[in-house]
Amino acid sequence: MNFPELYESIIAQIVRECPGPDKFAHVFVGLGIWLAAALALRKPFTSTIPPIVVALIEAINEIIDRIAKGSWEWPDTLGDAAATLFWPLLLFAALRLFPWLGAGRVTVSRAEEDEPAAGAGGAPRDGA
């Protein structure tokens, strides 16, 4: 068994375990790769690198599919690419266009750490 056939058999097993059509597997894998790329490369979700990694891995997957099947199956290939890229690209765009979505991190300056908290004898800080 050559590599493309082995790869296809492994992918077929993964798709069988997925609770729905193969497009669900593409959605899950696309999001997983996006998250893993951001974490492994230590890049924020607003970086272009994680979506590029997703696109590259999806392209490699589709090339292997083409080699294993002997020809392009364009409706399936385009559907797979759309399912894989949709949520990573949508979330990337949302975080880039609306930065406040990712503003969950709270940073405290050294001066603020040294101030007494409200109720501990000090005046309440702005925004508290």
Cα–chain center distance at 5: 27
Task: Note whether residue 128 is domain-resident.
Answer: no
Would you list the DSSP string of the chain?
Answer: --HHHHHHHHHHHHHHHSSS-HHHHHHHHHHHHHHHHHHHHT--TTSSHHHHHHHHHHHHHHHHHHHHHSS--HHHHHHHHHHHHHHHHHHHHHHHH-GGGGTT-----HHHHHSPPBTTTBPPPTT-
Q: Is the pTM of this model over 0.85?
A: no
Task: Note whether residue 66 is domain-resident.
Answer: yes
Task: Note whether residue 37 is domain-resident.
Answer: yes
Task: Note whether residue 15 is domain-resident.
Answer: yes
The total number of structural domains in the chain stands at: 1
Q: Provide the β-strand partners of residue 122.
A: 118
Task: Note whether residue 86 is domain-resident.
Answer: yes
Confidence of residue 16 (pLDDT cuts 50, 70, 90): confident
Domain boundaries, position 43: 3-114
Task: Note whether residue 120 is domain-resident.
Answer: no
Task: Note whether residue 36 is domain-resident.
Answer: yes
pLDDT tens figures, 44-101 = 999 999 999 999 999 999 999 999 999 999 999 999 999 999 999 999 999 999 999 8
Task: Note whether residue 122 is domain-resident.
Answer: no
